[in-house]
Amino acid sequence: MLLTDVGREQNRLEKLASGRCSPLVYASIRKILGTLNYELEAVGKLIDDHINNYPDLKRDIAYLTSITGIGPSTGSTMLAVLRGNHFSSAKQAASWLGVVPREKRSGSSVNGRTRMSKSGPPEVRAKLFMSAMVAIRHSVYFKTFYDRLISGGKAKMSALGGVMRKLVHVCYGVLMKQQNYDENYLAAV
Provide the pLDDT for residue 189: 45
Angle at 146 between CA 90 and CA 73, to 5 degrees: 55
Provide the pLDDT for residue 59: 96
- Which pLDDT tens digit goes with each residue over 117-176? 888 899 999 999 999 999 999 999 999 999 999 999 988 999 999 999 999 999 999 999
Environment class of 78 (CB within 10 Å of its CB; exposed 0-12, middle 13-18, buried 19+) = buried
CB 85 within 8 A of CB 71: no
Distance CA 107, CA 165 (A): 29
Q: Is 101 left (phi over 0), alpha (psi -120 to 50) or beta?
A: beta
Provide the pLDDT for residue 188: 53
Phi, psi angle pair for 102, to nearest 5°? -120, 120
Q: What band does 108 get if pLDDT is binned at 50, 70 and 90?
A: low
The 3-state DSSP class for residue 86 equals: coil
Phi, psi angle pair for 180, to nearest 5°? -65, 155
Q: What average pLDDT does the segment 25-54 reach?
A: 92
Q: What band does 103 get if pLDDT is binned at 50, 70 and 90?
A: confident
Distance CA 175, CA 186 (A): 17
**Sheet strands (E) in 31-188:** 101-102, 115-116
Q: What band does 106 get if pLDDT is binned at 50, 70 and 90?
A: low
Tell me the average pLDDT of the chain: 89
Count of other CB atoms within 10 angstroms of residue 85: 11
Q: What average pLDDT does the segment 77-94 reach?
A: 94
- Which pLDDT tens digit goes with each residue over 3-32? 889 889 999 888 887 777 788 888 899 999
Provide the pLDDT for residue 110: 61
pLDDT above 70 covers what percent of the chain?
93
In the predicted model, is pLDDT for residue 185 greater than 80?
A: no
Provide the pLDDT for residue 101: 84
Distance CA 112, CA 26 (A): 49
Provide the pLDDT for residue 78: 95
The 3-state DSSP class for residue 106 equals: strand
